[in-house]
Amino acid sequence: MKKKNKEKKWHASVKKSVFCMAACLTLAGLAKPWDVHAAVLGEDMKQGNILELQSGDWKEDYVVLNPTETNVGTSGTFVMLNGYYDKIMFDEKGESNAWEGSSAQKYCTEYYRKLPVTVKDRVIGVRTTDTESGSAWLDVSNIDGTKTDKDKVFFLSFKEYDAYRTGANLSSGYKWLLRCPGTDCSEYHDYIGVVDNDGSIHNYSIEHLIAARPGFNLRLPSDICAVKTEKDGVTVWKADADKLGHTYGAPVYEWSKDNRGCTGTIRCEICGESIVEKATVFVTSEKKPTAKENGMDVYTAIFPDERFQTQVKNISIEKLPSKTETKSKKITAGAKYTIAGSVYKVLSPKAKTVSIVKAKNVKSYTISSTVKIQGKTFKVTQIETKAFKDSKIVKVTIGKNVKVLKPKAFAGSKVTKVILKTKNLKKSTIKNCMKSSKVKTIQVKVGTKKENKKILKAYKKFFKKSVLGRSVRLF
Ligand SMILES: [Zn+2]
């Protein structure tokens, strides 16, 4: 009630502003091409954005006042017509501002009736609480013809009325002029019901002539198929009221390089909104590879989202290496291996023994006690005939595992001195080993002094020209 005098003063300036606003809001062409984007209410579509709703030939722009709530805080989207297409007067004759029969009521009713069904069906009625005029509200018609306190549409912006007065361009609603509480209520002659932010209704004095525009609450899906663009610096969402849900195309699948992952994507053909799903991939062996034929693994991608179909991919596995290749890897008797410059021959793969076939070409050569072939340790137990032939070796040290010196082992070589570290030589295993050689001395160098003496004594018994094939000095 206290606002009555203050608001009376607004009259003159309001009238002028209406025409200015109308002129300014001539629709400009779209500044940018459509972006590919979907609108999620509250996240993408925000307060102050424009929602351009279409349905067939019908098209209207609305300012989004609250994307996720109605003006009284319930679920919905609060919108208001963007722009003033008409002057709405409550009482052109200045006698009454009653809702019933007013041009405001007529305008709003017609506006509501012209909404396409797809839009009209989404308009939410908001229950308001009449705190000041009691049951008088129920005497007045709602837009949809009912007589209840659940008003469906068309709140008229009180704040905009204020904005007209001050010349400010405020797009969000504050209080919403609704309608007069009663047609013949003298006490409320100059008053109109105002719906406050919390939904309560108060009676305020207003001018007989005011500009307003329809505002209402829409029930929209939270994820709207809308295409984003910009107009005069304002975000505009273009949506088809008949197809507010997305129109998804066929799913596209992409396998990872190693086939262990598969991603499915479905994309809205209108706004580009994409749903991306990662599948769980299972691998089964359809056919094991053999030496002759390739094998086959089957990769099956299963998606949690039923909009994606299970994907299957067959991957060929190369056939196994041939048997001959496999065999060559096996260590067999007689096989030769070059290790650290010397050539060895396998004597027994089972006993893991080798002989030295050709020694490395160095002046002083030591026969190792063992060598490694494919990671396995083999004892060097024998020296083959002419193992040192055509080399520069003059001195040979014979390792502790050597048991056999083949006939003519030193033939054709420059070896003059041999050192024995082995205790394993026998008369029968050294026959003619020195034949055709230049060896002059053989020195026994095994274990302790006592042991060495013992072995030397034993060797002296058969290290003779008749056995060796050449006379040498043994010491
Ligand atoms: Zn879409």
Q: Identify the burial level of 276 via C-beta atoms within 10 angstroms of its C-beta, where 0-12 means exposed, 13-18 middle and 19 or more buried.
A: exposed
d(CA 57, CA 241) in angstroms, rounded, equals 11
Cα-to-centroid distance, 282 and ligand 1 (Å): 32
Strands 191-195 and 176-179: antiparallel
Amino acid 1: pLDDT? 31
Cα-to-centroid distance, 83 and ligand 1 (Å): 27
For tokens 């500044």, name the residue.
31
Cα-to-centroid distance, 47 and ligand 1 (Å): 21
User: Is-contact 118 143, C-beta < 8 A?
Assistant: no
Q: What SS3 state is found at 19?
A: helix
Task: Give me the mean pLDDT over the 392-416 stretch.
Answer: 94
Q: Within this chain, do residues 300 and 352 fall inside the same structural domain, yes or no?
A: no
- Encoded amino acid at 234, one letter: V
Cα-to-centroid distance, 350 and ligand 1 (Å): 75
Cα-to-centroid distance, 53 and ligand 1 (Å): 14
Cα-to-centroid distance, 315 and ligand 1 (Å): 36
Q: What SS3 state is found at 337?
A: strand
Q: What is the mean pLDDT of the chain?
A: 76
For tokens 């006379």, name the residue.
471
Q: Within this chain, do residues 448 and 367 fall inside the same structural domain, yes or no?
A: yes
Cα-to-centroid distance, 36 and ligand 1 (Å): 9
Cα-to-centroid distance, 270 and ligand 1 (Å): 5
Task: Give me the mean pLDDT over the 117-143 stretch.
Answer: 65
Q: Within this chain, do residues 311 and 339 fall inside the same structural domain, yes or no?
A: no
Cα-to-centroid distance, 271 and ligand 1 (Å): 4
Amino acid 81: pLDDT? 76
Cα-to-centroid distance, 48 and ligand 1 (Å): 21
Q: Within this chain, do residues 314 and 335 fall inside the same structural domain, yes or no?
A: no
Amino acid 198: pLDDT? 47
Q: Which domain holds residue 285?
A: 252-323
Amino acid 24: pLDDT? 28
Q: How confident is the model at residue 426 (pLDDT cuts 50, 70, 90)?
A: very high
Query: What's the angle, vertex CA 385, arms to CA 384 and CA 391, rounded to 5?
Result: 95
Q: What is the DSSP letter of 222?
A: S
- Encoded amino acid at 172, one letter: S
Cα-to-centroid distance, 34 and ligand 1 (Å): 13
Q: What is the DSSP letter of 71?
A: T
Q: Is residue 256 part of a domain?
A: yes
| Of the listed ranges 142-146, 183-187, 471-475, the one predicted with least confidence | 183-187
Better-scored residue on pLDDT, 336 or 183? 336
Q: What are phi and psi of 6, to 5 degrees?
A: -60, -45
Q: What SS3 state is found at 312?
A: strand
CATH code of the domain containing 450: 3.80.10.10
Cα-to-centroid distance, 30 and ligand 1 (Å): 20
Cα-to-centroid distance, 45 and ligand 1 (Å): 14
Amino acid 298: pLDDT? 94
Q: Which of 286, 306, 323 is the last residue of a domain?
A: 323
The answer to whether the Cα torsion of 210, 94, 216, 75 is positive or negative is positive
**Whether the predicted pLDDT of 205 surpasses 60:** no
**Whether the predicted pLDDT of 291 surpasses 70:** yes
| Of the listed ranges 212-216, 221-225, 315-319, 455-459, the one predicted with least confidence | 212-216
Amino acid 29: pLDDT? 29
Cα-to-centroid distance, 74 and ligand 1 (Å): 26
Q: How confident is the model at residue 425 (pLDDT cuts 50, 70, 90)?
A: very high
Amino acid 31: pLDDT? 27
Q: Within this chain, do residues 180 and 281 fall inside the same structural domain, yes or no?
A: no
Better-scored residue on pLDDT, 470 or 92? 470
Q: Within this chain, do residues 58 and 201 fall inside the same structural domain, yes or no?
A: yes
Cα-to-centroid distance, 8 and ligand 1 (Å): 49
Cα-to-centroid distance, 52 and ligand 1 (Å): 15
Cα-to-centroid distance, 217 and ligand 1 (Å): 22
Q: Is residue 270 part of a domain?
A: yes
Better-scored residue on pLDDT, 279 or 199? 279
Cα-to-centroid distance, 241 and ligand 1 (Å): 12
For tokens 């013992």, name the residue.
454
Q: Is residue 318 part of a domain?
A: yes
Cα-to-centroid distance, 223 and ligand 1 (Å): 9
Q: Is residue 44 part of a domain?
A: yes
Amino acid 201: pLDDT? 54
Q: What is the DSSP letter of 110?
A: H
Cα-to-centroid distance, 237 and ligand 1 (Å): 12
Count of domains forming the chain: 3
Amino acid 128: pLDDT? 54
Beta-bridge mates of residue 378: 371
Q: What SS3 state is found at 229?
A: strand
Q: Is residue 460 part of a domain?
A: yes
For tokens 């607004």, name the residue.
10
Amino acid 149: pLDDT? 52
d(CA 328, CA 354) in angstroms, rounded, equals 18
Q: Which of 323, 339, 363 is the last residue of a domain?
A: 323
Q: Which of 193, 218, 239 is the last residue of a domain?
A: 239
Amino acid 352: pLDDT? 94
Cα-to-centroid distance, 226 and ligand 1 (Å): 6
**Whether the predicted pLDDT of 451 surpasses 50:** yes
Q: Is residue 244 part of a domain?
A: no
Q: How confident is the model at residue 417 (pLDDT cuts 50, 70, 90)?
A: very high
The answer to whether the Cα torsion of 449, 450, 455, 458 is positive or negative is positive
Q: What SS3 state is found at 239?
A: strand
Q: Within this chain, do residues 48 and 79 fall inside the same structural domain, yes or no?
A: yes
pLDDT digits (tens, 9 = 90+) for 155-182: 555 555 454 445 444 444 444 555 543 3
**Whether the predicted pLDDT of 15 surpasses 90:** no
Cα-to-centroid distance, 40 and ligand 1 (Å): 11
Amino acid 197: pLDDT? 45
Q: What is the DSSP letter of 45?
A: B
pLDDT digits (tens, 9 = 90+) for 93-116: 545 445 666 666 677 778 888 889
Cα-to-centroid distance, 37 and ligand 1 (Å): 8
Cα-to-centroid distance, 239 and ligand 1 (Å): 9
pLDDT digits (tens, 9 = 90+) for 26-82: 223 232 233 345 688 888 898 888 999 999 999 999 888 788 887 667 788 878 777
Q: Within this chain, do residues 291 and 390 fall inside the same structural domain, yes or no?
A: no
Q: Is residue 245 part of a domain?
A: no
- Encoded amino acid at 83, one letter: G
Q: Within this chain, do residues 263 and 353 fall inside the same structural domain, yes or no?
A: no
Q: Residue 146 corresponds to which tokens in the numbers above? A: 């009912």
Q: Within this chain, do residues 428 and 396 fall inside the same structural domain, yes or no?
A: yes
Q: Within this chain, do residues 399 and 268 fall inside the same structural domain, yes or no?
A: no
Q: Residue 454 corresponds to which tokens in the numbers above? A: 């013992």
Q: Is residue 82 part of a domain?
A: yes
pTM (2 decimals)?
0.48
Amino acid 282: pLDDT? 94
Better-scored residue on pLDDT, 381 or 375? 381
Concatenate the DSSP letters of all residues of 420-458 into one string. E--S---GGGSTTTTTT----EEEE--SSHHHHHHHHHH
Of all residues in the chain, the percent with pLDDT exceeding 90 is: 36
Q: Within this chain, do residues 84 and 127 fall inside the same structural domain, yes or no?
A: yes
